[in-house]
């Protein structure tokens, strides 16, 4: 018997390796398939990762109990990628494998067989009910062998089911049995009273056959009974065909335009194209509006014409609607979309299209880096500075690091594009690890970077209201009079930060977290943005029972309210997590603003990047200090990035743009350099401070979070880890903490954090793996290790 190496779905350090199992002769098993095996006294799912002829195991090998998949759901590249992730991010290989599968294949699923022209008549009785549940326990070895042969001939098809719902979508179509040339004669035979019959044949004559029944009944207006009668007469044939559930169907299609490339674009395309078939990483540093997306499109076209595939990553779901329209214009339906807002059915169908080689280009957020796209010729990471490319919860990963790994695996170039690259990427470019390409001019010949004005909120003379300065208020009204559009950026959703009693000072806090509750006036609720706790807005203070309650702080809801008070005729749209929770909401909001159905777009950071609205001539940053006051070492970098990116939304059309930044820290270097759009000067200043204090990119950083429902247990564990790490580090490695996390209690769990700063310390990495081993048995404490190395 053949011996399979199987990674069992038991995510502990002790089981994070392969186990040997015998493959019964009657089972068809390949690498990348899921199987069921006996593990101890229970049956678990496992992934087949290899085959061997002999084993080092001295006992009796168990056999594979059941094969879940008829074809491999994972390929060799994905199996190797899981091992890379396990070593890099202190995760388990088996949990990494689950990252690479669509939700439809996770959890409890059943398999069903569907018949397509089955030639083996001995199998027909099994399909008396139309489908057959594919269970190796109820089928004989002979039947299984025949079924595998029929599957190989494409006479049968396997579909996955959850809750006994077939996971494929079908639609009815009609095929005309009358030749196209004979249809005019068929129309002449019909009486003038048979209007629906005439309409049907005229439609076939115009649009051809086959036609969807839904199209004929809903859009053309032909009753179903007419189609049924035609089928009974033998003029047409009704049948069912599978249709893919795809978000592309809802995307507005744009016509492809032949764009004239600027000299900078042409040079960039030529330089990158010359490095096809290499694993070179390029840093495309281009100011906002310099045409980076068109460079991605032109290079993708070259790659696809050569027979290879492309992955393009974007940081936010909100960026996908415009990007989909842009790329769909060039590549039609040979693109797939991948993000968390897809339904389980859509995600499953997109995954199958990718796996079946029906797709040339995949556009998606960070998880799209796992898609099973073969023969990659290009990987693009757009807005590479964004933190959303890193998944912080377990299993952790950084899509940028995986992009480079896959680029190396396929020997294809990787492009990191941004107007404000991460300091680490830019430092690597200066050391010639990455190849730097710069775009210093906007594509629009009349397009110049917007003028930026800083308003000092400390000066009370600058304030027109609680939210708008006099300058911003005046500029907004001027744009409204000129029928131009405005974007207002405030990275805080809700109506107000907190609600307080003016009589006794009581603040309404979350019962589960050490944070105040945010007031959401639209929902008439107080809400916690960390654990999800919600309650109705109280009528009185629970402490003193007075009714004098007052809200403090500003959110996007209050901005909308103040705009209405400013001028009721101004129409607004708000784009934040509260307004984009429903499927398709991003696309709807972007489409409405694109078609000038609103004068002002108010939003959080989703409005700050990647969007292209030619009629936007004013951008207002209402409070630039929110990100600046974050308790993290890269707060200045995040602030500079956000301000530069959001400023780039203005003046992308024919009219010059203006940006007004309101701040209490007008002299901070991040804000001053963002005003001048001077990345070079910011880079030098921030790099000096990073070197002085020992942060990235001069030191790698690892954060260890210790979380428990018992605060003293979390602290004691963190102190024990600090002692263990101190005994097993080299002299250059620094250990900071333990200290309470900046929000110590979230969802009734207390967190203490350690920070390790190192340059090279293999012994310390081994110690971290040992820590994971030792804490597996303690279910009262969770340890999260974040390796910040990119």
Residues with Cβ < 8 Å from 245, sequence gap 6 or more? 169, 343, 345, 346, 348, 349
Distance of CA 447 to the CA centre of its chain: 31
| 504 labelled ligand-binding | yes
Nearest to 47 by CA among 92, 14, 114: 92
* Residues ≥6 apart with Cβ < 8 Å to 214: 171, 172
Under a CB-based contact definition with an 8 Å cutoff, are residues 315 and 365 in contact? Answer: yes
In whole angstroms, give the CA distance from residue 765 to residue 772. 11
CA–CA separation, 723 and 508 (whole Å): 39
Q: List, in order, residues 6 or more apart from 421 with CB less than 8 Å away.
A: 283, 285, 384, 385, 429, 679
Sequence-separated (6 or more) residues with CB below 8 Å from residue 351: 101, 102, 371, 372
CA neighbor of 248 nearest in space, from 339, 313, 168: 339
Q: Which two tokens stand for residue 562?
A: 């103040």
For residue 643, give the H/E element and its range.
Answer: helix 635-647
What does the DSSP 8-state code read for residue 121? G
Residues in CB range of 463: below 8 A, 6 or more apart: 457, 469, 470
CB 636 within 8 A of CB 667: no
- The answer to whether 642 and 499 have CB atoms below 8 angstroms apart is no
Q: Does 541 appear as a known binding residue?
A: yes
Cα gap 440→264, rounded to integer Å: 8
**DSSP secondary structure string for all residues of 130-191:** SEEE--TTTS-HHHHHHHHHHHHTTSEEEEEEETTEES-EEEEEEEESS-GGGHHHHHHHS-
| Sheet order of strands, 110-115 included | 131-133, 110-115, 156-162, 165-166
32 touches 82 (CB < 8 A): no
Would you say 31 is a known binding-site residue?
no
Does residue 501 have a known ligand-binding role? yes
Contact 366, 389 (CB under 8 A): yes
Q: 271 CB contacts (<8 Å, ≥6 apart)?
A: 282, 435, 437
Say if residue 544 carries a ligand binding annotation.
yes
- Rounded to an integer, what distance in angstroms lies between the CA atom of residue 175 and that of residue 480? 54
- Of 762, 789, 767, 761, the C-alpha closest to 722 is 767
Binding residues for Zn(2+): 501, 504, 510, 513, 528, 531, 541, 544
Binding residues: 501, 504, 510, 513, 528, 531, 541, 544
């Amino acid at each position: 018997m053949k011996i399979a190496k199987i990674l069992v779905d038991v995510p502990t350090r002790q089981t994070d390796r392969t186990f040997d199992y015998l493959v019964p002769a009657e089972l068809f098993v390949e690498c990348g398939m899921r199987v069921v095996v006996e593990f101890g006294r229970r049956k678990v799912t496992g992934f087949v990762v290899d085959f061997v002829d002999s084993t080092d195991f001295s006992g009796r090998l168990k056999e594979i109990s059941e094969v879940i998949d008829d074809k491999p759901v994972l390929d060799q590249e994905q199996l190797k990628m899981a091992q890379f992730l396990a070593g890099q991010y202190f995760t388990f290989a088996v949990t990494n494998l689950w990252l690479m599968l669509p939700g439809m294949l996770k959890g409890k699923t059943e398999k069903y067989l569907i018949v397509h022209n089955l030639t083996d008549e001995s199998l027909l009785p099994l399909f008396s009910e139309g489908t057959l549940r594919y269970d190796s326990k109820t089928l004989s070895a002979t039947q299984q062998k025949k079924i595998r042969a029929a599957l190989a001939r494409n006479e049968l098809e396997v579909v996955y089911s959850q809750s006994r719902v077939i996971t494929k979508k079908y639609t009815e179509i009609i095929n005309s049995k009358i030749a196209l040339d004979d249809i005019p004669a068929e129309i002449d035979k019909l009486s003038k009273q048979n209007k629906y019959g005439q309409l049907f044949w005229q439609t076939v004559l115009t649009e051809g056959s086959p036609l969807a029944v839904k199209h004929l009944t809903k859009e053309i207006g032909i009753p179903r009974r007419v189609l049924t009668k035609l089928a009974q007469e033998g003029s047409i044939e009704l049948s069912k065909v599978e249709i893919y559930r795809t978000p592309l169907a809802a995307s507005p299609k744009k016509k492809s335009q032949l764009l004239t490339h600027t000299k900078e674009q042409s040079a960039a395309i030529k330089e990158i194209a010359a490095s096809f078939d290499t694993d070179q990483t390029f840093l495309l540093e281009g100011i906002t509006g310099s045409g980076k997306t068109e460079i991605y499109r032109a290079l993708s076209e070259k790659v696809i014409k050569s027979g290879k595939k492309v992955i393009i990553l974007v940081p936010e779901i909100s960026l996908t609607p415009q990007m989909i329209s842009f790329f769909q214009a060039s590549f039609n339906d040979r693109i797939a979309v991948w993000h968390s807002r897809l339904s389980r059915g859509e995600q499953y169908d997109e995954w199958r299209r990718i796996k079946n080689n029906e797709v040339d280009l995949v556009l998606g957020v960070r998880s799209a880096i796992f898609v099973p796209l073969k023969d990659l010729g290009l990987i693009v990471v757009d807005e590479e500075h964004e933190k959303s490319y890193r998944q912080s919860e377990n299993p952790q990963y950084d899509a940028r690091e995986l992009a480079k790994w896959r680029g190396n695996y396929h020997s294809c170039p990787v492009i990191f594009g941004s107007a404000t690259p991460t300091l680490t990427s830019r430092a690597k470019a200066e050391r010639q690890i990455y190849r730097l390409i710069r775009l210093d001019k906007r594509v629009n010949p009349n397009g110049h970077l917007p003028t930026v004005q800083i308003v000092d909120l400390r000066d009370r003379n600058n304030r027109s209201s609680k939210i708008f300065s006099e300058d911003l208020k005046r500029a907004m009204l001027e744009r409204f009079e000129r029928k131009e559009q405005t974007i207002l950026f405030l990275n805080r959703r809700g109506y107000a930060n907190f609600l307080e009693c003016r009589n006794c000072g009581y603040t309404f806090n979350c019962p589960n977290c050490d944070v105040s509750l945010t007031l959401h006036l639209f929902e008439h609720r107080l809400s916690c943005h960390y654990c999800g706790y919600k309650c109705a807005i109280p009528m009185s203070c629970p402490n003193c029972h007075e009714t004098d309650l007052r809200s403090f702080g500003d959110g996007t809801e209050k901005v909308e309210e103040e705009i209405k008070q400013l001028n009721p005729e101004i129409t607004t749209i708000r784009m934040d997590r509260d307004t984009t929770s429903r499927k398709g909401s991003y696309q709807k909001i972007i489409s409405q603003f694109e078609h000038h159905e609103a004068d002002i777009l108010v939003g959080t950071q989703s409005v700050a990047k990647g969007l292209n609205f030619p009629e936007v001539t004013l951008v207002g940053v209402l409070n630039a200090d929110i990100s600046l006051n974050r308790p993290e070492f890269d707060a200045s970098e995040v602030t500079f990035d956000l301000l530069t990116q959001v400023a780039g939304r203005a003046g992308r059309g024919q009219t010059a743009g203006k940006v007004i930044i309101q701040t209490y820290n007008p002299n901070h270097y991040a804000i001053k350099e963002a005003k001048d759009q001077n990345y070079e000067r910011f880079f030098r200043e921030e790099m000096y401070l990073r070197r002085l204090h020992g942060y990235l990119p001069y030191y790698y950083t690892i954060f260890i979070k210790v979380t428990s429902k018992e605060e003293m247990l979390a602290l004691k564990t963190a102190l024990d880890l600090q002692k263990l790490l101190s005994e097993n580090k080299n002299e250059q490695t620094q250990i900071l903490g333990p200290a309470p996390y900046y929000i110590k209690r979230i969802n009734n769990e207390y967190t203490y954090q350690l920070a390790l700063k190192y340059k090279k310390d293999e012994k310390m990495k081994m110690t971290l793996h040992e820590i994971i081993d030792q804490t597996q048995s303690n279910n009262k404490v969770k340890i999260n290790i974040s390796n910040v190395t990119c």
